[in-house]
């Protein structure tokens, strides 16, 4: 089984390379000239994308071919008072450059839109804003010439004091989501409300790949055994052009098991991998750790001491 590691959005090794530089709406309002404000937003967006390309080049230098883009590349892109701002036009060359680099180096990239993207909300305004944000992600992917299928992972949403009704509302709201955006999405079990069983219910019913988050499951398993549900998770990926994906992180401490640690607990990771060995030919594991790429480097270093591991390159290996 091939295991490929990736990390999220920013590097702790690459200096001055934030892809999430921003401007708040309050700051924008303080600028007397609206056009000057828009130009500044465009400069920030361009800088974020240039840093994104630097991150990808850094990744290539370390054999990392799996990466999550920041969802904050374009500040205020969806703000209601900036409707009519064609934010894609000035950044199109930078998007194309990123997309070419991704394609030339056979990288897998995706997004995890922020927690305010909620598709099971009973509030139509929240649903509309969520769809607007997802359209922005679709536009960015298309600008990069990256096929949008299965490139955005979401949580199920809010429980709204009635989880069963919240699940059914997700199904109802799904009917209002354009097909192209439906195809873009993956669903992840969360650490408070929706278990792997809940997420699989939607994934199977609506043909959405399920991203299994092992850490989330450990703190929010409900009555579900992930081992017994693993083949169901695998099955949701059967029609995807991409390998199965999961999230790996470790609890920061016993007092706050939901918070992410700086690094990955290798024993926890290997316990998971040995359980699934042979069930898939490849799995892409997204590291969600505070120390970003450094957590990936340390994990690869520690794997040298594990029996049954054969390195492929600096960020992937065979589990025999």
Query: What pLDDT is attached to residue 3?
Result: 98
Round the average pLDDT of the chain to a whole number and report it. Answer: 96
Environment class of residue 74 by beta-carbon count within 10 Å: exposed (0-12), middle (13-18) or buried (19+)?
A: buried
Please state the rounded mean pLDDT for residues 209-227.
96
Structure tokens given for 19: 């892809």
Query: Which is more confident, 81 or 144?
Result: 144
| Per-residue pLDDT tens digits for 47-98 | 999 999 999 999 999 999 999 999 999 999 988 888 889 999 999 999 999 9
- Examine residue 5 and state whether it is found in any structural domain, yes or no: no
- Examine residue 127 and state whether it is found in any structural domain, yes or no: yes
| Local structure of 81: helix, strand or coil | helix
Q: How many domains does the chain have?
A: 1
CATH at 146: 3.20.20.150
98 with 135: CB under 8 angstroms? no
Beta bridge pairs of residue 109: 67
Cβ neighbours around 263 below 10 Å, total: 19
**Backbone dihedral angles phi then psi of residue 19, each to the nearest 5 degrees:** -95, 10
Structure tokens given for 141: 């992917």
Block residue for tokens 């839109």: 113
Query: Terminal CA-to-CA distance of the chain, rounded, Å?
Result: 7
- Examine residue 94 and state whether it is found in any structural domain, yes or no: yes
- Examine residue 295 and state whether it is found in any structural domain, yes or no: no
Report the DSSP pairing between strands 2-8 and 316-319. antiparallel
Query: What pLDDT is attached to residue 319?
Result: 97
- Examine residue 257 and state whether it is found in any structural domain, yes or no: no
Query: What pLDDT is attached to residue 80?
Result: 85
For residue 121, what is the enclosing H or E element? none
- Examine residue 82 and state whether it is found in any structural domain, yes or no: yes
Q: How far apart are alpha carbons 279 and 319 in whole angstroms?
A: 12
For residue 123, what is the enclosing H or E element? none
Domain that holds residue 38: 16-242
* Alpha-carbon distances of 293 from 12, 199, 214, 255, 264, rounded to whole Å: 7, 28, 19, 25, 11
Which residue, 211, 161, 95, is CA-closest to 87?
95
pTM for the full predicted model: 0.96
Please state the rounded mean pLDDT for residues 269-289.
97
Dihedral angle of Cα 257, 263, 268, 274, to the nearest 10 degrees: 150
Please state the rounded mean pLDDT for residues 155-173.
97
- Examine residue 309 and state whether it is found in any structural domain, yes or no: no
What ranges in the chain are assigned the alpha helix state H?
25-30, 34-61, 88-104, 124-143, 163-174, 179-184, 196-206, 214-219, 226-235, 266-276, 292-303
- Examine residue 24 and state whether it is found in any structural domain, yes or no: yes
* Opening angle at CA 249, ends 293 and 245, nearest 5: 85
Q: How far apart are alpha carbons 282 and 280 in whole angstroms?
A: 6
| Per-residue pLDDT tens digits for 89-142 | 999 999 999 999 999 999 999 999 998 999 999 999 999 999 999 999 999 999
Please state the rounded mean pLDDT for residues 151-173.
98
Please state the rounded mean pLDDT for residues 277-282.
97
Beta bridge pairs of residue 283: 3, 244
Q: Residue 254 above 80 pLDDT?
A: no
Query: What pLDDT is attached to residue 258?
Result: 81
Q: How far apart are alpha carbons 222 and 217 in whole angstroms?
A: 8
């Amino acid at each position: 089984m091939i295991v490929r590691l990736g990390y999220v959005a920013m590097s702790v090794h690459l200096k001055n390379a934030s892809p999430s530089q921003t401007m708040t709406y309050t700051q924008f309002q303080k600028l007397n000239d609206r056009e000057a404000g828009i130009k500044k937003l465009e400069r920030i967006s361009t800088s974020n994308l240039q840093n994104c390309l630097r991150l990808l080049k850094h990744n290539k230098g370390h054999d990392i071919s799996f990466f999550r883009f920041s969802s904050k590349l374009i500040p205020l892109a969806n703000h209601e008072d900036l409707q009519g701002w064609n934010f894609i036009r000035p950044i199109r060359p930078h998007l194309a450059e990123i997309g070419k680099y991704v394609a030339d180096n056979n990288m897998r990239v995706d997004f995890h839109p922020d927690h305010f993207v909620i598709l099971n909300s009973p509030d139509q305004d929240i649903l509309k804003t969520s769809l607007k944000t997802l359209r922005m992600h679709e536009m960015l992917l298309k600008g990069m010439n990256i096929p949008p299928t299965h490139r955005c992972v979401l949580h199920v949403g809010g429980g709204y004091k009635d989880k069963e009704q919240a699940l059914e509302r997700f199904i109802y709201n799904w009917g209002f989501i354009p097909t192209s955006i439906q195809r873009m999405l993956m669903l992840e079990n969360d650490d408070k409300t929706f278990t792997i069983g809940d997420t699989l219910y939607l994934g199977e019913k609506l043909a959405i790949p399920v991203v299994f988050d092992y850490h989330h499951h450990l703190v929010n398993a409900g009555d579900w055994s992930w081992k017994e549900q693993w083949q169901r998770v695998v099955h949701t990926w059967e029609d995807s052009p991409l390998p199965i994906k999961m999230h790996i992180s470790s609890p920061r401490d016993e007092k706050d098991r939901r918070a992410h640690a700086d690094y990955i607990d290798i024993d926890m990771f290997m316990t998971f991998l040995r359980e699934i060995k042979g069930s898939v030919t490849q799995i892409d594991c997204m590291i969600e750790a505070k120390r970003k790429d450094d957590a990936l480097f340390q994990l690869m270093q520690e794997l040298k001491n594990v029996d049954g591991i054969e390195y492929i390159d600096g960020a992937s290996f065979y589990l025999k």
